[in-house]
Amino acid sequence: MIPELALKPADGEFDLAAIHRHLDSLDTAIRDPQNPDRFLLSSDPAALREAAEERRGSNPVPYTVAVLHPTPTIIALTTFGSDTRPSRDFVEWLRKQQALKILDQEFNDFTSQCEDNLDHVFGEPD
């Protein structure tokens, strides 16, 4: 698994309004109380609520959740723990919206390794 990803549009920019609407509609995502442009992701609703509560203080993001920070030109996605399902689901959804470049934190390009599936970056699904 590659824990820190950078997703870039193959051309143009991301539609942030559509991304925000999609994430706001999910029960696996919640806006980060310290930065409402960033989202916390988890398959476990209790872990998501606990993470949001911790973030209402000045606490760092707990390792039990993933962090997704979309901007028009790049989306930073950090998946700390073994709960990769919400991160994988988001990237699969995003790839249906537009062509992507999938990079690691050092901007090494893994797009071609992910043509058939996302196992290269997230491991095999549970």
pLDDT tens, position by position, 72-91: 999 999 998 889 999 999 99
For residue 59, pLDDT beyond 90: no
Mean pLDDT computed over every residue of the chain: 93
Backbone angles phi and psi of 105, in degrees to 5:
-65, -20
Range of the domain at 34: 4-69+77-122
10, 49 Cβ separation under 8 angstroms: no
- Helix pair angle (16-25, 85-97), 10° resolution: 140
Number of domains in the chain: 1
Tokens linked to 108:
């090494």
pTM over 0.75, yes/no: yes
Cβ atoms of 110 and 104 closer than 8 Å: yes
pLDDT of residue 114: 92
